[in-house]
């Protein structure tokens, strides 16, 4: 796209200029959709083995360039360099695995004589999986490589063409990913768009050419898509994952998993553990060990070997600080004196006494963790299920019956037993309830969501 209307991308760490992206106009959005439509039929007819070869080449190039891509990713969104590198490596594996799974898709036959009124061998139905058409993929800032690829590959491998809109923060990393894809794909199959969601978001979503939307982002934007979209959608939205620690838990294991789950990438993950409920008999022991572990976390610039770094922008930091202020005003006890410098918020634990404290139920997206003491598991389940979110939940216990009791009672898309909340493995189904999303993703599920059934009836 040629345009003088560009936005500079600044490093979250030091505000240095990393590059820029084009703020697409509505006319440029039209051209992206036109290219996607004109190339869709030809792309849909390409044999699956040829598509698999293309995606394997994409994955291989990602791995070849992983260090350079991870460096840009780390600078652009303040993700610790080791986590950025892991994201690129995981994405390459995701691409290869998704492409390989697509080889298993087959047409199915259905005999018609199971219905009253039809004779044996009178009708044979054949169902074929065909492309939906044009997929609008919208990715978030926190995983601009992985959560983009998890949308692009299922859509493309299913024979669809794509209009791809990345988050503004993360656009450089997403562009690199799109650039690698387009090196191996036919022209017009993948069309990358950048710009402000407030300027072109609604136009992209309501465009006459879009056939299905796959979005990851905030619950607020997801609700807006629900209201204005005229086509099907997959929505992966916010989370407020509760970790429940039973008095039958392995405390050392629970502490280790909760620290990783709550503080990796500074808590800026929809699947981060964002509230911990601890049964009273083990509370003191758990909290003492949790404090000791959190104190060891390394804080600093993302290019160093750190656990916690800057939040994505000052607005995000201000919001997290407002939640801390509210908690302290309602009697919460901090683990130590709070510390924050601009976009950098240092790890903090908050012992919460009042359930009306905002941080108990609002998604903080930062390295601050509220802890609440409960008496019975029924109480913990009730507190968890009051949340408007329902992405994942965690139960820590060595009693398998207790684990399944809690798992079956939580109104969430996933329950982890004795482990932190996590999106992977990528071949597992991934879904949320309530305000955490609509639809199920995962390798198999995502491909099938991007295709539709066509029935051909043979009358014998």
Task: State the catalytic residue, choosing from 270, 362, 363, 445.
Answer: 270
Whether the CB-CB separation of 349 and 369 falls below 8 Å is answered with: yes
Residues 34 and 77 in one domain: yes
What pLDDT does residue 2 have?
45
Domain with residue 421: its CATH number is 3.40.309.10
Dump pLDDT digits (tens) for 244-268: 999 999 999 999 999 999 999 999 9
Dump pLDDT digits (tens) for 335-380: 999 999 999 999 999 999 999 999 999 999 999 999 999 999 999 9
Residues 231 and 245 in one domain: no
Phi and psi angles of residue 120, each rounded to the nearest 5 degrees, phi first: -60, 135
Selection from 270, 165, 168, 262 nearest residue 217 by Cα: 270
Residues 259 and 407 in one domain: yes
Asked if residue 57 belongs to a domain, the reply is yes
Residue 226 pLDDT exceeds 50: yes
411 vs 405: CA distance, rounded Å: 12
Residues 79 and 12 in one domain: yes
Dump pLDDT digits (tens) for 85-132: 999 999 999 999 999 999 998 888 888 876 666 777 788 899 999 999
Q: Could you confirm whether 236 is annotated as catalytic?
A: yes
Q: Which of the four pLDDT bands, split at 50, 70 and 90, describes residue 198?
A: confident
Torsion of Cα atoms, 348 then 354 then 358 then 360, to 10°: 60
Residues 121 and 248 in one domain: no
Residues 295 and 220 in one domain: no
Asked if residue 398 belongs to a domain, the reply is yes
Asked if residue 117 belongs to a domain, the reply is yes
Residues 51 and 68 in one domain: yes
64 vs 58: CA distance, rounded Å: 10
Residues 451 and 403 in one domain: no
Asked if residue 431 belongs to a domain, the reply is no
Domain with residue 119: its CATH number is 3.40.605.10
Number of structural domains (the chain) is: 2
Task: State the catalytic residue, choosing from 75, 76, 87, 236.
Answer: 236
What pLDDT does residue 105 have?
87
Q: Could you confirm whether 137 is annotated as catalytic?
A: no
Asked if residue 1 belongs to a domain, the reply is no
Residues 383 and 453 in one domain: no
Residues 160 and 259 in one domain: no
What pLDDT does residue 366 have?
97
Asked if residue 303 belongs to a domain, the reply is yes
Whether the CB-CB separation of 279 and 430 falls below 8 Å is answered with: no
Residues 372 and 391 in one domain: yes
Average pLDDT, the chain: 95
Task: Report helix, strand or coil for 32.
Answer: helix
Residue-number span of the structural domain to which 150 is assigned: 6-237+436-459
């Amino acid at each position: 796209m040629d345009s003088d209307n560009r936005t500079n991308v600044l490093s979250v760490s030091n505000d240095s200029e990393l590059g820029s992206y084009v703020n697409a106009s509505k006319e440029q959005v039209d051209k992206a959709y036109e290219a996607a439509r004109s190339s869709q039929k030809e792309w849909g007819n390409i044999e699956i083995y040829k598509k698999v070869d293309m995606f394997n080449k994409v994955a291989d190039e990602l791995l070849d360039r992983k260090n350079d891509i991870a460096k840009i990713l780390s600078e652009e969104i303040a993700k610790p360099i080791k986590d950025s590198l892991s994201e690129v490596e995981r994405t390459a594996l995701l691409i290869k695995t998704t492409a390989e799974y697509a080889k298993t898709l087959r047409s199915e036959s259905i005999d018609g004589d199971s219905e009253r009124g039809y004779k044996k061998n009178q009708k044979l139905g054949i169902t074929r999986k065909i492309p939906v058409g044009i997929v609008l993929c919208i990715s978030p800032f926190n995983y601009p490589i992985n959560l983009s690829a998890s949308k692009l590959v299922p859509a493309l491998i299913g024979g669809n063409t794509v209009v791809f809109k990345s988050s503004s923060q993360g656009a450089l990393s997403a562009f690199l990913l799109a650039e690698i894809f387009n090196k191996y794909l036919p022209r017009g199959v993948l069309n990358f768009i950048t710009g402000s969601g407030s300027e072109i978001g609604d136009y992209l979503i309501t465009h006459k050419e879009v056939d299905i939307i796959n979005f990851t982002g905030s619950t607020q934007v997801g609700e807006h898509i629900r209201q204005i979209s005229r086509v099907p959608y997959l929505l992966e939205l916010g989370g407020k994952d509760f970790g429940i620690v039973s008095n039958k838990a392995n405390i050392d294991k629970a502490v280790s998993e909760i620290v990783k789950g709550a503080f990796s990438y500074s808590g800026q993950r929809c699947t981060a553990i964002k509230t911990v409920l601890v049964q009273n008999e083990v509370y003191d022991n758990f909290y003492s060990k949790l404090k000791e572990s959190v104190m060891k976390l390394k804080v600093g610039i993302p290019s160093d070997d750190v656990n916690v770094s800057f939040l994505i922008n000052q607005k995000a930091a201000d919001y997290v600080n407002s939640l801390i202020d509210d908690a302290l005003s309602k009697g919460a006890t901090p683990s130590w004196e709070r510390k924050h410098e601009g976009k950098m918020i240092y790890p903090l634990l908050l012992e919460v006494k009042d359930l009306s404290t905002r941080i108990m139920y609002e998604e903080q997206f930062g390295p601050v963790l509220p802890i609440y003491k409960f008496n019975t598991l029924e109480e913990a389940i009730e507190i968890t299920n009051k949340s408007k979110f329902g992405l994942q939940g965690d139960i820590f216990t060595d009693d398998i019956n207790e684990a399944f009791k809690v798992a079956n009672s939580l109104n969430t898309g996933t329950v982890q037993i004795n482990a932190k909340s996590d999106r992977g493995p990528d071949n597992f189904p991934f879904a949320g309830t309530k305000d955490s999303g609509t639809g199920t993703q995962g390798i198999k599920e995502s491909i099938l969501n991007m295709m539709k059934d066509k029935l051909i009836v043979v009358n014998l």
